[in-house]
Structures are given as structure tokens and as C-alpha cells.
Amino acid sequence: MTDSYKYFTTPIYYANGTPHAGHVYATIMASTLKAHYEQRGAKVKFLTGLDEHGEAVQDKAKELGKTPQEQVDEMAVLWKKEFERFEINNDIFMRTTDKAHIKNVQDILNYCHKKGDIYFGEHEGYYCVKCEGFITSSERDENNNCLIHKRPAELRKEKNYFFRTSKYRDQLKELIAKGHITQQERYINELIGMLENLDSDLSISRPKSRLAWGVELPFDTDHVAYVWFDALPNYVTGIGGIEEARTSYYWKNVQHIIGKDILKFHGIFWPAMCLSLDIPLPKLLVTGWILQDSHKMSKSLGNGINVEQILHYGRDTFVNYFFRATNPGEDIEFSWKSYFERYNSDLANGIGNLLARTLTMVEKYFANKIPNFSHNLLIEEQNEIINACNNASKNVAKAFDEFRIADALNEIWNLIALTDKHIAQQKPWELAKNNDPENMLRLGNVIATSVAVLRVTGYLSYSFFPNKMNDLLKSIGEDISNISNSFSKSQEFFAIKSGFNLVEIPKLYARIEIAAELVKVNLGLEQNKEKSESKKVTKVENKKEILQENSNIISIQDFMKVQMHVGTVLSAENVEGSDKLLRLVVSLGTLGERQIFSGIREWVKPEEIANRKVIIVSNLAPRKMKFGMSEGMMLATDTADGKVSPIYLPENLKEGALLT
């Protein structure tokens, strides 16, 4: 019974700043976990919120000429609005200034104090204001700068109350080693190392003479609780307090999602507090840092992705990139180029393109009605897809249970790739040319298989991309009015809505023009600068055209400048507003993807060229056209019957290979 309950928490974020990419990553992860387990019928709670007490908040409020309460009230409104923009589905938004939380903290302080785990003493050490804590010699450099925040730590000597962390040191070592706090091996080793270097108990109070902004100790009104001893109990406040935690099924299945920079507080001090409180130990899911050029992203360095940029390019772009990069725990290296390439590959040219081409074929060949399966005509390739879908459903569930989030996404996108390959091999446009009854049944199987994969994928990836998967599922006739308990539908491969009349073909994800977007984000150009850059490119093109007109003879040195590569056409579509152009998205292997406009629409249908190998001139200067940036040229030639055809290459040629 307990397994049907889940409780996910993010850190409660510090209320002296605005959200950044790291906050977004952790919070969307919790949001995704909640949605996934609700799809599997579990009862789920999800807590996030703000840590509102402490020295940094007090200092920030003073700097702004406000009271601390005014400052945190404003920040709470801001953070809630930001989470709404990211469609976060939390049940609880915890604020440490809430009366219920203050009471819970004081109950915890009283309980630990009466147990003898809190005592009064004196401590001297190096204190980092950003960490809101004393840091050890291994956490600062030779100049006593905090290794995380790159700023000087202050030498402080104070009389405070202390929590007897040392009392639980040996017990914690054993629990950590057995994986009872985290099952991530690298963090098990880190925690054991931290315990071995722990040279003092945890200071848990600050004198009011220095810091008035905090929860007053119930047994000494001249002191307030140290911010971490105030913040960590928020997870228990969220389910009703310490008495509730002792019996709650939610607490027995709690998972704290935290960044590795707060591992010591959550992996040592908080479990020690829980042992003192006689409540079950929480589990940790530790995430790495987001890096750019091997440096942790930071607002001060200006080296990364901010909230407005995330929202500009879409929540799904962020989710797909960061969740697929690696399973939680490892650092994630970010670059704008790979960010856009992953979006185009997985979303625009992947699931988005598969939906568009599938429903277009339904529209074209079956008068807008989803065809039936003809089970007696299913071929081996289609049976392999059926098995892959059934296995994917089990593997995605298992991956979530083991917090291998990237593995779950890989399972899903493999289905899309498998289906694209199936369409390329079966050539439905060829089947449609010979429209005898059996061929039409075989064509129906190709399209029905694709619809079934889209349906399975829609349910499997709903927790990652709820809005777009809602559009996808609706477009193929699925009832998504209640998504709870819907995960099992991903195991019903043949349950497509045959005969459903298509209403519209949604364009899930518009392709990003990478070259143009890189100009914006990397160079920070405004619109007028972008136009200036485009004019420069056009001038270069014009000069090349003039030179070509003046001479048809070129030297071998000139010819060697032309780079021709083997490309795979990932997608092709007619360009609206032009009766000549096809928009092609071509993969050149390690060289990435290119958007190319080709004037072959009169002779070549989009479905005929999709997934074919062609020759691409890859080092042609990008050309700004009315419909977008063209990033190369596809070679074509005249046919014997007076038409024009791309020069198709054998399928066994390596994608991206240089023609010499």
C-alpha cells in the first residue's frame, strides 16, 4: 500500500534572488515525477517554496529600504508567478514565515532539546554568508574563499546553541553506506568523506543582537534558529508536522530533489535531525550542476541560460535538452548550438515531423480517417515495432522508478526513430500508386502503425511535455479529459481510434533556424544588427555570383574549396507562399543539421525525398531568403524525361562523409 504514495520535494529556494536555470531544472523534475506517478495511479504530493529567514534576506531588505517581511512577501508573489509560467504542478508552496511552519520548527526544537540533542556552547570558524553556514577547511581555498560562492568567508566566534550531530555520526555512516539516504554511489562516497571531515556539531542558533530575522527559540528568546535548522523541517511541515511524519505513507516515500552544493545539509544534518526526531529517514535525489565551458552557470559570470530565454525557446526545449543530457547526478554541459540541435532533432524533426507526415498521409490516402489494422498482413518489421512499444512502456516505468530520467526519454525517442525508419523502408507513397485492395491494406498498416506509435509516445512522454502531448493525443482521437491512470494505455498498441475523422494537423514544434538564433544568443545582436548581418551575407553572395558570371573556368584550388558531404533528408515540406520551393532539413552527421531551400517542388514530392541520401554543398555561405535562412545547397540534375531530380546516393554511404 505504501508504494502507491509518493512525496517529492525541491529545495525551498532562498528568497533573496530570482529563479535561475538550476531552480527550473529541479522544479520541473519534481513536476515531471509527480505527473508520471499520477499517470500510474499513485497518490502524489509535491512541495516547493521559499526559505525566507536568515542573514542574507535581512541584509537584502535593508539594502532595498524594506522590512524583511515586505521583501519576502514580494519575492513569494514573484516566484509563484514564475512557477505558473513553467506550468509547475506543485500541491504545496512552503513559506518559512507561515505560522504553521514556525510552530513546527519550534516543536522540533523543543523535542530535540528535551532529548538532550541541543546544548549551549561557543564556536569559532569561517562563515560564508551565501552558504548561511560555517565551512570546513576542505570547503574553502588557501585564501579562505568559499569554493562554491568564490567569495571570502568571515572568521566568526559566537556563543550559540548546537545540535549533537556527532552523536549520530557512526549511525549515519552505516546508513549512508547501505544506500538508505541516497542510492547514487558518487554521493554516498562524498557523504562518507564529509562525515569523516566533520570536526564540530552543527551551530543551530544566532543571537538576536546580530540577527533578529528568524524563528525564535522556544527555550531561549534571545536567539533565533539558524536558517538551515529552520529550512530543513519545511518538508515535514508540508505533511502536517512531526507527529504526522511518524505515520504518514507520504513521508515513508519522500524523495528530496536537491543540488549537490547543498548535499551536506540534506545528507548529514537533516538525517541526523530525523534520527533525533524518531521519524523515518528521507531519500535524496541529487542533481549535478549546469555548466558552460566547464564552469558552473552563474548570474555574475553571465554564462548561461536565463528564465526569459528558457521561456522564449519553450519549456519543452529545456526539458528535452537537460533531462536527456544525463541521468540526475552528473553535471550537464550546456551550449546554445547543442541546445538548438537537440530541439530540432528530437522535437521538430522527430515527434513533430512524424505526427505531421503521418496525419498528412491519413488525410491524403484515407480521406481524413485513421485506417484499421489488417492483422493478417502485419509484417515482421511492424511486429518488431509492436514489441518495442510494449517493452518501452515497461522500461520507461522502470527508469522512472530508478530515477534514470534520461534513459526514459531515450526509450521514447527510439520509438520515433524506429517508426521514421519504417516509413522510409515501406515507402507508403509507392504503395499508394498501386491502389489495389491488398496494397491499400498494407498502406493502412504502415499508417496505423505510425498512429499507434504516436499514441504510445503521447502517453509515455505526457509527464515531460503535457501541453504538446495533449495536442497530439487529441489530434488522433484520444480522450485526455482525465490523464490520471493513463500510463497503462501505452501498453495497448492496437487501441488506436480507427475511423476517427481528423479535425486538424497540429504543428507541434516549429523548426529553429540555428544559425540565426546563435547570432541572437551568442553575439547579443538586436534586430537591426541581425538585418545588418544578413545584408553582409547577401553582399558576399552577390559578389560570388558576379565572379561566377565573369568566368566559367575555375582552378583546381578553387574547386578544392567546395566541400560536398553525404546528407540524409530528415524532413521535407512544401513552402507556403512558393510554388517552387521545398524546405529540407538535412543531417550531415557530426557537422549537424542544415535547413536548405531547394527549387524542386515541381518535380519532387516531400515524402519521396524524406530519409533519402543526397549530396550537399556544406560550405556555401548562408543565404537569407524570404522564408528563412538557407544553409547550403543540394545537388540535382536533369532527367531523361525533362524533369529535375536530386542526385540520390546509396543508403550504405556514411552520413556526413566528404565527397572527394
Q: Half-sphere exposure of residue 245, counting CA atoms within 13 Å on the CB side? A: 19
* pLDDT for residue 550: 39
Confidence at residue 283, expressed as pLDDT on a 0 to 100 scale: 97
Using the predicted structure, report yes or no on whether residue 526 has a pLDDT greater than 70: no
Out of 279-283, 346-350, 445-449, 570-574, which region has the weakest mean confidence (pLDDT)?
A: 570-574
Q: Can you give the pLDDT at residue 302?
A: 60
For residues 409 and 398, is the Cβ–Cβ distance under 8 A? no
Which domains can be identified in the chain, with CATH numbers?
5-287 (3.40.50.620), 349-501 (1.10.730.10), 562-658 (2.40.50.140)
Strand partners, 43: 5
Could you say which of 131, 264, 266, 468 is catalytic? Answer: 131
Q: Which amino acid is at 592?
A: G
Q: For residues 131 and 138, what is the distance between their CA atoms, to the nearest angstrom?
A: 14
230-267: pLDDT as tens digits? 999 999 999 999 999 999 999 999 999 999 999 999 99
Q: Which of 173, 180, 283, 296 is catalytic?
A: 296
When pLDDT is cut at 50, 70 and 90, the band that residue 558 belongs to is low
Q: What is the C-alpha to C-alpha distance for residues 137 and 129, in angstroms, rounded to an integer?
A: 16
Question: Which of 85, 18, 79, 71 minimizes the C-alpha distance to 48?
Answer: 79
Active site residue 20: yes
565 classed as catalytic: no
Segment 6-26 shows an average pLDDT of 95
pLDDT of residue 551: 41
Say yes or no to pLDDT of 393 above 90: yes
Lowest mean pLDDT among 21-35, 149-163, 321-335, 418-432: 149-163
pLDDT of 222 reads 95
pLDDT of residue 301: 57
Which tens digit of pLDDT belongs to each residue from 352-392? 999 999 999 999 999 999 999 999 999 999 999 999 999 99
pLDDT tops 70 at residue 92: yes
**Nearest CA among 424, 445, 475, 434 for reference residue 648:** 424
Judged against a pLDDT cut of 60, whether residue 413 lies above it is answered with: yes
Band (pLDDT 50/70/90 cuts) for residue 640 is low
Residues 6+ apart with CB under 8 A from 383: none
Lowest mean pLDDT among 318-332, 343-357, 603-617: 603-617
The pLDDT value recorded for residue 536 is 41
When pLDDT is averaged across residues 637-650 and rounded to a whole number, the result is 80
Percent of the chain with pLDDT over 70: 92
Task: Catalytic residue, from 103, 123, 130, 149: name it.
Answer: 149
Query: Average pLDDT, whole number, for the chain?
Result: 90
Residue 299 known to be catalytic: yes
- What per-residue confidence (pLDDT) applies to 548? 43
The single residue listed with the C-alpha cell 510554388 is: 579
Between 528 and 50, the more confident residue is: 50
- Chain center to CA of 84: 17
Q: Check the CA dihedral 101-102-103-109 and report its sign.
A: positive
Pick the range with the lowest mean pLDDT from 203-217, 321-335, 519-533: 519-533
Local confidence band at 530 (pLDDT 50, 70, 90 cut-offs): very low
**Range with the largest mean pLDDT of 64-73, 127-136, 300-309, 607-616:** 64-73
Which candidate, 544, 633, 643, 647, places its Cα nearest to that of 597?
Answer: 633
Instruction: Verify whether residue 128 is a known catalytic residue.
Output: yes
pLDDT surpasses 60 at 535: no
pLDDT at 532: 40
- Which is catalytic among the residues 23, 101, 489, 613? 23
Which candidate, 484, 429, 407, 422, places its Cα nearest to that of 454? 422
| Axis crossing angle, helix 437-460 with helix 380-401, rounded to the nearest 10 | 0
Q: Which of 299, 394, 536, 654 is catalytic?
A: 299
| Contact indicator for 648, 560 with CB cutoff of 8 Å | no
| 84-97 mean pLDDT | 97
> What is the per-residue pLDDT for 538?
44
- Give the model confidence (pLDDT) of 480-501 as tens digits: 888 999 999 999 999 999 999 9
Mean pLDDT of 456-470: 98
Give the pLDDT confidence score for residue 157 in this predicted structure: 77
Burial of 374 (0-12, 13-18, 19+ CB in 10 A): middle
Percent pLDDT > 90 in the chain is 71
What DSSP state is assigned to residue 315?
H
Number of H-type helices and E-type strands within the chain = 25, 25
Average pLDDT over residues 396-400: 98
Averaged pLDDT, 513-528: 73
Of 153 and 367, more confident: 367
Distance between CA atoms of residues 58 and 578, nearest Å:
61
Q: What is the pLDDT of residues 307-316, one digit of tens each?
A: 999 999 999 9
> Residue 173 catalytic?
no
Residue 156 parent element (H or E) = strand 154-163
Q: Which residues, 6+ apart, have CB-to-CB distance to 344 below 8 Å? A: 511, 512, 514, 585, 593
Catalytic residue among 128, 266, 274, 468: 128
Residue 195 has what pLDDT?
94
